Chain A
């Protein structure tokens, strides 16, 4: 009793503190059947953020971790200090890559529903995050993506037939049908092998960047994870290593508000921003309008220039919204308001760039419709081409014995025996 009084706590007269403790379990603003409301998000004006020098010390970057770098305003005009002032042909390339990513996603989602493959994940609404970054990086910079950066491959002009072969796990799949669909690997395109284990790519990207620096190379690394994945321990170890060794790496957090059914509050968003994680590590942090491809491009260029000048790592939070379900195995109407994507205050990345290009007089609705039509045909033709190599479960896969290859560089005796046993069993069964 005496102790409690001295410590300043209020007691109930029997030695117990009052009030009782309460556990806070975050709850998203809207569940199914409720109206979505994003008015609590503070969206600054497009020209609000100044552009600091690339050499700015991380301690001077605090406001950027809580602000929002934007370029395109509500009317589609490029404004403010971050406007990268890109030439018309680059803007139209960006638009085309984003539209192609969306068309690709649409086709592959349908392919999954038609039973041609087991699984797919769309990036609808997040196309600017991949496309903006890919165009701001050099092609020989190494990307360590998560599973929702297919736009990087598309922006690096990777063959979409090759991507589809992977999704169909067919005989044209360079991964030999070993990986779940969308877990691409394309070393030539600077696209690191995707893993199902979240955020493992973060310290790997830092290590790649450290190696490049230790070798006196000029290439940098970039990596992506979702806001949900920032809760993994690998995120912390990566940030620590990146900071300690001033690794030339760009660490992107794609905050699309949802980690499957968990809203961003379960990764800590109620208390802070994800860009603000950078502050504690002594890393430069930028928070960016992830549906504004020019802002994504400008922030990535800033971070890349900083890394190339030995200024160290940058953490970029891309504030965006996951328009579709998490994957083909997910039904978002089971946990969130159906109104959310239409209420999302930062709009659609393709519509915003399209409007900007129309404002500049380099684009119009007619050409846009024609482009969409052409891309749809291109994706359809690519799908037909890929399907010639087979679709999942139709037998046109790699030979069975290929399952045992590449576990090690050389196949040890126990795998040779297992391979032979499998072949003998199938032969004995008359198959």
Chain B
């Protein structure tokens, strides 16, 4: 597995750029990923989505369903795509350090 060096921190990632370990997540990870996900600046809205995904994952062991993400953060799916152009899975979950989505995706 590839190891990414960024501003003194190092992250172990897979071929799709997802963190291999949730515990390795640091705020630098978000700064590192944002460019490849087409995000200029991390706003409070971005942070709100990332924080919720992390809380939900720590509490439940899974990523929330899209409808739960929308309902709790108050962002419609359209707004989530405006924040994270690659979408809630590939964009937001990757930045939050959650495992790669699985299934027939």
Partners in one complex: no
